[in-house]
Structure 1
């Protein structure tokens, strides 16, 4: 998975030069689940360049500003589910990507605590999917980078969003309708499983974080064998907007207005998180 300057990805229109920048750190990459959301995020970029691909994983390149300095950033859709996340991540790894922040939607598993419109800072993921089983043993944990968890918390304070942000465990599944909403003949089994996760304190359910966390952990280990410092580290995190509450069977989804507001909050939080991560990386580079 180590960077290859000659690598040509199958599902992205990108080269290693596209992801370079930030003094060897590379671009800070935002990973929403849809191209539409990636396009919306990119409206906040300066110097926007779009590299289209017929599979819909269009790459949006640009900069944001922090303390009068530009930060090179990118946004690209991961697609839905861990198999798609795995494909896009691998291609980004090969192109030199090292900083990843997922922006996604999720359903609450704690309706009395995590409410529609809230945000979740994913600390780790329950691996209820098969993709990462091809990489690591069943008991291997899927963890976000501590640096990203901390940066998200600090960014929320700066933006006045701390009261809407919950930090903790999330559930990552392969099936949307069966596992979370009880469709199909295994209805009761799936409901019992989700109820168990609720009793274990898992905050929300989504479909991509465990692939992001596991693969980033593995690539981070590989990269650390090559050198020291922030340019030889992979960092990953995830911010999730709560747009569904399966416990309310009659009306489990947020309204369009609720969804729009929480996704806007999530995007602003993600961009502020990147600013803090970039400042941290710059400080760490200066001490080498």
Structure 2
């Protein structure tokens, strides 16, 4: 089966060489996956651009092989990509994403490291029951926190709300549908009182997959919106938030044992 190229990610074990990587950096945005590979890895090879799921293999400064892979937007796409990566022998996955802060003390431009997720995602329900904990791997998570401290990046660690939709699910009314269902009206304030830090759309399912499939999953996200102030993304601080999230994850990938 080594010559098998997986249907969605578009590459297989033969494409990874004699010492295949055990870790993948996962980005929703194909441009971010490419930027990570081109900026932070050496001897980079494009593995596939199948379905816009751009995937790259390269080497860290310590010559450790690693993948930079696109998951696509949302948990259903991520679940497919992660499943196929695990069939190739990947054992650790760090999601590098973006998020919106729902706590007033967490500013745009900072990073959030998710210790666990309130998982409101349909894809996750096909993997484990609703009650199954969506918890990040503690060792990878602590490594991310240590890296952020060493790099002196403003960072926060805590629980993330992982939801399936960018607009309704995150209580945005400035959209094509300003009429939110009653069950979603006031949900952000409720989450604030539960000490949830941020909204995003993937890590709850990733964490549940980690528990069920027995791999180490973690997530670091750049804060690109401050939802206690406005619904829109703050483009001026977006680049620094994403850059710091990437550098934190690459630092961990380089030094993680």
Q: TM-score, normalised by structure 2?
A: 0.92
1:32 aligns with 2:27: yes
8 Å CA contact 1:33–1:104 kept in 2: the answer is: yes
Give 1:240's aligned residue: 221
Q: Cα–Cα, structure 1 residues 198 and 137, in superposed 2: closer, same or farther, change >3 Å?
A: same
Q: Which runs of 5+ in 2 are unaligned?
A: none
State whether structure 2 residue 74 is matched by structure 1 residue 81: yes
How many residue pairs get aligned? The number is: 252
User: Which residue of structure 2 aligns with residue 199 of structure 1?
Assistant: 193
Of 77, 85, 97, the match for 2:90: 97
Provide the alpha-carbon RMSD of the alignment: 1.8
Give the deviation of 1:13 after TM superposition. 2.3
Give the Å deviation of 1:276: 2.4
Give the superposition deviation at 1:188: 4.9
SS in 2 for 1:138: coil
Q: Secondary structure at the match of 1:150?
A: helix
Query: Which of the residues 210, 233, 241 maps onto 1:253?
Result: 233
Contact 1:19 1:97 survives alignment (8 Å) = no
Contact 1:244 1:253 in 2 (8 A): yes
1:138, distance to aligned residue in structure 2 (A): 1.4
Cα shift readout 1:171-226 (whole Å, capped 9, x = no counterpart): 00011111211344325532312211111000000000011111121111xxxxxx
Structure 1: runs of 5 or more not aligned: 221-233, 281-288
- 1:206-217 to 2 correspondence within 5 Å? 206-217=200-211
Shift of 1:47: 0.6
The 1:21/1:31 distance shift into structure 2, 3 A limit, reads: farther
Question: Within the alignment, does 1:14 sit opposite 2:6 as a pair?
Answer: no
Contact 1:127-1:172 at 8 Å conserved across structures = yes
Q: Residues of 2 paired with 1:88 and 1:238: CA distance?
A: 16
